[in-house]
Amino acid sequence: MDVQEHKGWYKRTKLPHFDAADTYQMITYRLIDSMPSTTLNKLKTLRDNGDILNKEYRAKVEYWLDQGMGACVLKDEDVAEIVINNWKHWHEARYELLNWVVMPNHVHVLIKQYQGVPTNKIIHSWKSYSSNAINKYLKLEGEFWCSDYWDRYVRDEQHYKQAFEYIDNNPVKAGLVARAEDWRLGRFA
């Protein structure tokens, strides 16, 4: 990956994002079949019409993701390891990998960005490599990850702590385990 310029403040969809070296980003992306398109379209319409705030929209999306819809192929530990090993491969080369969790149909990652590797390039490389490797492993073809993703610039120490804890506790919140330490597809593994 060539060294590239960071975007700084920019808009993706209707929301501001911040992409710069030495910043922290919480990133979520999901499998293509993780949410019914009718549900997602309804939520987007409510958000775009101003009927719900973006924070409410995100909470509703996270709720639906935690319902474990779709094929949930990431619950297969071999499949999840492809994703995790890809993140670890670029740790300390393109970013610092701080926390992560692989859920059955989506993932959360917390990184510190390095100079010359914009957020969108990091995510594209993750999704491209892992989708090809997983499709090959599962003998599948076609789209694997949803094309969109959610990234959140971590503003301060309190926000960092919240993001870190959210990632750790997502399996508990989704009812998959009683304690975060019991989830085998996160940083505790």
CATH code, domain with 95: 3.30.70.1290
In a domain, 128, yes or no: yes
pTM: 0.89
Q: Which of 129, 135, 78, 127 is nearest to 107 (CA)?
A: 127
pLDDT at 116: 87
* DSSP 8-state assignment for residue 111: E
Range of the domain at 65: 8-182
Regions of the chain short of the pLDDT cut 70: 1-4, 7-18, 189
Count up the domains in the chain and report the number. Answer: 1
Q: What is the largest CA-CA distance in the chain?
A: 43
Any bridge partners for residue 28, and if so which?
A: 108, 150
pLDDT at 111: 97
pLDDT at 49: 82
In a domain, 43, yes or no: yes
Kindly give, in sequence order, each residue whose CB lies less than 8 Å from that of residue 129, ignoring residues fewer than 6 positions away. 86
In a domain, 133, yes or no: yes
In a domain, 1, yes or no: no
pLDDT at 47: 83
pLDDT at 43: 87
Q: What share of the chain is helix, strand, coil (3-state, %, to 5)?
A: 40, 20, 35
Q: What is the CA radius of gyration of the chain?
A: 16
In a domain, 189, yes or no: no
pLDDT at 125: 96
In a domain, 70, yes or no: yes
- Report pLDDT digits (tens) over 8-28: 665 666 555 667 778 999 999
How many helices (DSSP H) and strands (DSSP E) are in the chain? 5, 6
Residue 93 CA to residue 130 CA, distance in Å, equals: 18
pLDDT at 148: 87
In a domain, 46, yes or no: yes
pLDDT at 48: 84
In a domain, 3, yes or no: no
